[in-house]
Structure 1
Amino acid sequence: MCDDIEAEFEGGKVKRTMNLCRKGRAHYDSLSIDRLTPAVGGSEVRGEEAVTAAGELLAGAECPLLLGFGRSTLEAQKLGIELAKKLGSVIDDPTSRQGLIMERILKGEVPTCTFDDVRNYADVSIYWGDDPSSSHPRHLSRFSYFPRGEKRQRGYEEDREAIVIDVRRSPTATIAADGFFQVSPGGDAAFAEALLAALGGKIPKVEDKKRMLNLATKLRKAKFGAIFTGPGLADAQDGDLGWFFSLVARLNEFTRFSVIPSLPDYNTRGLHQALFDVAGAVSPVSFEGGIASGPKFGVPGLLESFDAVLVVGSDPVANLPAPLARKLARIPMVAVGTHRNLTTDAASVTVPTAMAGLEAGGSALRSDGVRVDLEAQVKSDRPTDLQIVEMLMEVV
């Protein structure tokens, strides 16, 4: 989703690039590596045959499940929701574990901002259960810590402070140095409780009371704060994040603190927004006999009830906990994607697609909600994910 990338291609392969991080370079290099081929029952077929077989499998199911779409364009996501409606199915993106936070943001109950706001104004950035140095390598250099901004001309040397709250000393925590606060697994709520006490002028119940009081003073004096939440926070306390929302509300009594979730795929925010526009909630959403949402409709709660699965641009067999992944792999599955992975290997039908932003255009939403237009940079005879969903709509 970086908008300053320059690239030259020769013979359909990358010749030269500028402004790519290591993950971006790997993405570009994957243009010609291990691409998915159309197959039914393990035998290679023409693309049209694979789409027809996929549509027939879904149409014959009584309780289908749609998974993924976080790596699809906005246009494909919106049509994917229409496909879920037509099938009366559940749509879910289990790789995004920050649905609760995103839903509160979309409802306007939790303050947020853009990355550009962070670059221009933020003097304090908190990374809670988040390691952008590993997951989003240009995050700190372009937006949150190192860059000069409109009101932050001296960058990290004088104008910015990084605070990392995590269970381990991650690469981001190493950069933050003295700003790293280590919590025990499951100890996030207790840390927040101690911080709330310190913010209220009380003695916190922690070993290093002086350090916690200094942190509270720092946050109270901030001009503009940003909190980046990662999977480590989302997984804390089994998803009960009332303590986190209370802390955010308390911080906003002193100064502005905005929350931006660090999401796993380039258009996870787009899927959340598209589902919210239709259902008033983010994934999972069920369209069986109406519209309903909540964790009980998702993969962990209903997996054994589904009799067909459509996976689009995702690898849940690799990313889900092993017991769930094994159950998922036993269900008749259609995998739509750009490259081979564990999910495509387990699928009954595979349908290859073009890579958005490289071989196909479209649009997406960054994690901060800013819309980005994607353009095709190389020609491809592979259909886009939007075209595949359009064909599935016709078959079912």
Structure 2
Amino acid sequence: MLIKNVNYNMLILGELQRLEDLSSEYKAILILISKRIRRDLWQCGKNDVMLYKMLNECGKQLDMAYKGPDQYMEQDFTDYILSLKPYSLFLGVHLQPYYFEKFVSDVRLENSRNIIEKQWDNIICAAENSDKAFIDIFDDVFSKCIDQYDDVFFHTLSDSDVLCRVVPEWGWDESRFIPWDNIDNMNRWNPPGKTYLYLSFDESERKYNDELSVSEYICLEEYRAEKDNKYSFCHFKPIKKGRILDLSYNDVELWKIEMALDRYQEIVKDLFVNSTLSDQAELKKMGTTKRSVKRYIKKNVDETIIDRSIIEKAIAKTYLKMVCNTIYKKVDEDDNAGKEKAYKSFHILAGYLESKGITGIIYPCTRTKKIIGKNLVLFNRYDAVPIKDSIREIIYK
């Protein structure tokens, strides 16, 4: 019932502020939820009454989940988001398909980021409230799953891959594009004393604008190129197919992984029910005790109906998405101390992967959000060689 002279705008702000203040431990998640509601669900003056009622009603669900200060769980907040979904139909707003599924996955990514960030900062030591260090957890996932599915988690280099490198100035031959021996410098993946080959990576040539390909643009961004300066590009071809671990995941959406797994779980349920009901005669003989039901299922249900590889791959993809969502940030430090702090965990992970026979890593470009860009680092700088006739010179505009 609409109450006259009530400022629903202020009531909504009150509900959102109450939401943000529910838990200090989950503060970042609660602010994310509040901002998303303000941005996507609230059309000030048009749906204030309905939005307030929705927030008030769904807030009662969180009140029921309250176990004491900072005693909430991530699931409480994802349930809250999903409880908004039925009410959203009455708000008069246009939402993209699977909006709430994406919303939930963003909350899970934010929560995992807070956890993984602490582990990543000290990669070889267990973080507070964790039994294992990041590198040990990664090793578990890598050894038991990732390493078993080459076609899913690894890339084999081919001549069709677009590999590009940039250097400043003009007039170079192809030898200039091979990295010089590294003694003192460190980059994202290599510590001082190790020389890796860094390239932009794409599986096909794509146009960025009239002047640049996507590969060239990514090169310029990674080099932090300055406008009106001269630069030279050179493409590379692989001479070793290698075993390249894909740690980019900037074009992978968590909600799609989760929805695919949910669909498979429904398929398994149907198969399980059909298998259970296949022998009606014996089913009638079955007792109703828990023990008798377990005995019947063990005897009659074929466990091979479950394809464990589907579940394993989905779990590993989820983990890698969460890791990649956390660890890649712009690094603008120019001094060695700043770089060492920012890159030390990458150096340890690269050393671990190299010890496992991995020859390179695909990782995302963090310098731009205009386009999804990827890079490639090869642990052996000679695993790909410059193509002489591909050198191109530009003035960056």
State the TM-score bracket (shorter-chain normalisation).
under 0.3
Query: TM-score scaled to structure 1, two decimals?
Result: 0.21
Indicate the structure whose relative CO is greater, using CA pairs within 8 Å and at least 6 residues apart: 1
Which structure dedicates a bigger proportion of its chain to helix?
2
